[in-house]
Structure 1
Amino acid sequence: MKPRVVLSMEQALSLPYATLRFVHLGWRVIRIESFGAGPDLPGDPNRYIGSVVADDDRRSYFVAPNVGKEAVAINLKEPKGHEVLRQLVRSLDADVFCSNTLPSRYAQLGIDYESLSAVKPDLIWAGISAMGPDYPDVPGYDPALQAMAGYMELTGETNGPPTLAGVPIIDLKAGDEVYAGVCLALAERAETGRGSRIDVSMLQAAASWLITTLPLVDFGCDPIEITRCGNEHRKFIPTNAYPTADGYIFVAIGSDVQWRRLTELPRFASVGKAGRETNQGRHADREAIQADMRAVTSRFSTGELAADFRKATIPNAPINDINQVRAMPALAAKLTATRLPDGRQVRMQPMAVDLPGKGGDFAFPPHYGEHTRTVLAQAGIRDGDYDDLARSGIVPASA
């Protein structure tokens, strides 16, 4: 079966992450970047972020989300550029078009659903923006959305400042919503023959994850239930990162049965005081319980405590750094990889789920506009016509 074809006007992380998941499926992803804005740092700004690992327009931050893709550059500020894009959609039989630019720019760039679906009625169109097309001029930056969606209010120490999550979770959440939405739309198209439009609001996608906090407001919750609580769990006591003699260990007591198992361990017998038998009782004594837990765990090594917890079937984990995560046997064999131009291997994050029959090695990301002439030729734009477009400032001459 012919691979699906995705044209994606993408930059930053949210949409490149979504289309990376299409690469994992074996689909053809052609990223479209802007042309004609001047000679300095053209295309996706993320090309120029991080250390120089290959060359100046493929720096370290850009690599992982953009392996296995092709790259074209088109000046979509000009009507002739719109014609080129429509020819790509039609001639390459594109299945999907994606964008994560501002909705207010869709029509002026010729990338709006109405224009492209007129060329190919069964096209799946997907856009990511900060707050959806009803708020067309709001830029979508993950840290700002973490603040707007309440994530920073929920993250950090109880008496500390609002804090960002350690990974750009709203960018990635939005990308996953595009991935899921496109797969659903393709399944529906197989039945109806019709294309569809998908608009992902980063704010709405993020708020859909507030399932353990936002509904509590209408239950008359205590304010502590919807604000920062450090590494504690708001409901299950004791759950926290506890100091050990040589580091930290995370322990999660998720039921009264697990509490009994904990307090039956000789080291933790002193924690099992009267009134703490139920989670409700432990809530009433949570600060004292946390202090009692720290007093025990700080006297023993992480390894000693982990051995106890394993025997008692109590959820626990060391606080791994990223090198330790990469070396875990459960992940080490599942890492994806690419190769630098000089042949050195770069190990990257695993796929989200195993995909039978799909490899984990992907081509190094392309230079800015690297495949413009080749891809346009496949769409029927031959060298002479291409050169005319280049002279008109629609495509780069050197691609």
Structure 2
Amino acid sequence: MLNSQSTEPESTGQNSQALSGIKVLDLSRVLAGPSSTQILADLGAEVIKVERPVVGDETRHWNPPSFIDDNTGEQTAAYFATVNRNKKSITVDITTPEGQQLIRQLAADSDVLVENFKVGGLKKYGLDYDSLKSVNKRLIYASLTGFGQTGPEAHKPGYDYIIQGLSGLMSITGPSDGEPHKVGVAVVDLFAGLQLTVGIQAALLARANTGVGQHVDVALLDSAIAMLANIGMNQLASGKTPTRLGNAHPNITPYQVYATADDSHFILACGNDVQFAKVCAVIGKPLHEDSRYSSNPSRVENRDSLQQVLTGLFKTKTREQWLKLLQQAGVPCGPIHNVTEALAMPQVQARDMIVSFEGSPVRALGSPIKLSGTPVSYHSAPPALGADTEAVLQSMGLSDEQIQQLRDKQIV
């Protein structure tokens, strides 16, 4: 059960959660795929995570840090706990004929299968889309790969860091006079996981009309290219290659970070001419009456000279003084928190964005999805490796003797 600081809204639907009754077979590992299946699990789907015997998902071993059970000494790597709550774990060696048959049986009774193997990696086991749709025409088979199922580089493996570089994302991240930087978290993996979730949900809706499943194909590179958003569109519109601007915005100014008298920093997010006039009133300089700065296009064109003025002015008061003055004037602005400060915000606590699980040392970042009628719930901590193998196999009709035989052969 969830231990949280506020109660969940009452469900107005027959089912307590939006995806109750949906069965998901999760053959994915690490971050991108499991992030998608965790969203589905949070929304009520039954997610069975298939892992390698003994080793399991490699992120189980990506520690420190770990959450440690004081009673048993059992450790749960924080990385693994990030995207594996609300799931069941079974261990199956899919390289064996017996293991492959178990997956086929599970797929025959599943609504969704999620995998992030290299393109063609599951075909040799008879677990690819074409093979499994023959045993379950309603199956939605969701593949998350580095480069997608088609194209000249489809065969290559994909990694968030490398895709950040390939996609151009790193070329626009970091200081203008320094080297390219990756984003602080694996945003391509997480964005692709969201795209996969959207694709799965769309396929579920389509199946409700057609009765037939389909293949959902999401690539890290495609997702990263889509993430370029307005920066990519700037290139398409102008033909010019976007450059790194540090904390500045390519289309708006002043919209960046400024240093203050106490060696702190704050974000000024001035998005239009009205807001700029308010900034000018706060700093006591009628810059908005200067033709060089009177409109946003003019300010962008004369960015450097404007920043010279603002940079000097903002160093005359402390961060808290500027934030108070700017907020009173109705100008968007804010401090730059470290992670500890961010997690301690009363707003974060009030929104149940940090959750815990009864009987588990794990604390987790909550779901940002708030549904009034079919709310997210957190019913189980990230599972121990293979914790549900026996129960799942029994539900498939296997006897205790058959299960033991599979264990003896190290298939499960």
Q: TM-score, normalised by structure 1?
A: 0.91
Kindly provide the amino acid, as one letter, of the partner of residue 159 in structure 2.
Answer: Y
Is this contact kept in 1: 2:287–2:293, CA < 8 A? Answer: no
Q: Alpha-carbon deviation of 1:254?
A: 1.3
Give SS of 2:248's match: coil
Give structure 1 regions of 4+ aligned residues with deviation exceeding 6 angstroms. none
Kindly provide the amino acid, as one letter, of the partner of residue 78 in structure 2.
Answer: S
Query: How many positions carry a matched residue from both structures?
Result: 384
Is this contact kept in 2: 1:244–1:302, CA < 8 A? Answer: yes
Corresponding residue for 2:384?
367
Structure 2 residue corresponding to 1:81, chosen from 82, 99, 102: 99
Structure 1 residue corresponding to 2:254, chosen from 231, 238, 260: 238
Corresponding residue for 1:197?
215
**Quick one: distance in 2 between partners of 1:106 and 1:266?**
63
Equivalent residues in 2 for 1:1-399, closer than 5 Å: 2-35=20-53, 42-50=55-63, 51-54=65-68, 58-90=76-108, 93-134=109-150, 135-223=153-241, 226-246=242-262, 247-269=264-286, 273-333=290-350, 334-339=352-357, 343-344=360-361, 346=363, 348-356=364-372, 357-358=374-375, 360-395=377-412
Q: Alpha-carbon deviation of 1:303?
A: 1.8
Is this contact kept in 1: 2:43–2:377, CA < 8 A? Answer: no
Is this contact kept in 2: 1:77–1:108, CA < 8 A? Answer: no
Gaps spanning 5+ residues in structure 1: where? Answer: none
Cα displacement string for residues 166-202 of structure 1 (whole angstroms, at most 9, x for unaligned residues): 1111000110011101111111111111111101011
Cα displacement string for residues 332-352 of structure 1 (whole angstroms, at most 9, x for unaligned residues): 1222423385x5462x22312
User: After the TM superposition, which of the residue ranges 106-115 and 229-238 deviates more from structure 2?
Assistant: 106-115
Q: Alpha-carbon deviation of 1:216?
A: 2.9
Q: Alpha-carbon deviation of 1:258?
A: 1.5
Q: Alpha-carbon deviation of 1:293?
A: 1.1
Give SS of 2:134's match: helix
Give SS of 2:380's match: coil
Cα displacement string for residues 217-251 of structure 1 (whole angstroms, at most 9, x for unaligned residues): 3433544xx12110000110111100112311100
Give SS of 2:386's match: coil
**Quick one: distance in 2 between partners of 1:216 and 1:274?**
25
Is this contact kept in 2: 1:57–1:367, CA < 8 A? Answer: no
Corresponding residue for 2:3?
none
Is this contact kept in 1: 2:85–2:378, CA < 8 A? Answer: no
Q: Alpha-carbon deviation of 1:371?
A: 1.2
User: After the TM superposition, which of the residue ranges 296-305 and 46-55 deviates more from structure 2?
Assistant: 46-55
Give SS of 1:98's match: strand
Q: Alpha-carbon deviation of 1:380?
A: 1.0
**Quick one: distance in 2 between partners of 1:233 and 1:130?**
29
Q: Alpha-carbon deviation of 1:136?
A: 4.2
Identity %: 27
Aligned-residue Cα RMSD (Å) equals 2.0
Q: Alpha-carbon deviation of 1:330?
A: 2.3
**Quick one: distance in 1 between partners of 2:142 and 2:229?**
25
Kindly provide the amino acid, as one letter, of the partner of residue 87 in structure 2.
Answer: K
**Quick one: distance in 2 between partners of 1:360 and 1:298?**
47
Is this contact kept in 1: 2:149–2:217, CA < 8 A? Answer: yes
Compared with structure 1, are the counterparts of its residues 285 and 313 closer, same or farther at alpha carbon in structure 2 (3 Å cutoff)? same
Compared with structure 1, are the counterparts of its residues 248 and 108 closer, same or farther at alpha carbon in structure 2 (3 Å cutoff)? same
Q: Alpha-carbon deviation of 1:269?
A: 4.2
**Quick one: distance in 2 between partners of 1:24 and 1:269?**
52
Compared with structure 1, are the counterparts of its residues 57 and 145 closer, same or farther at alpha carbon in structure 2 (3 Å cutoff)? farther
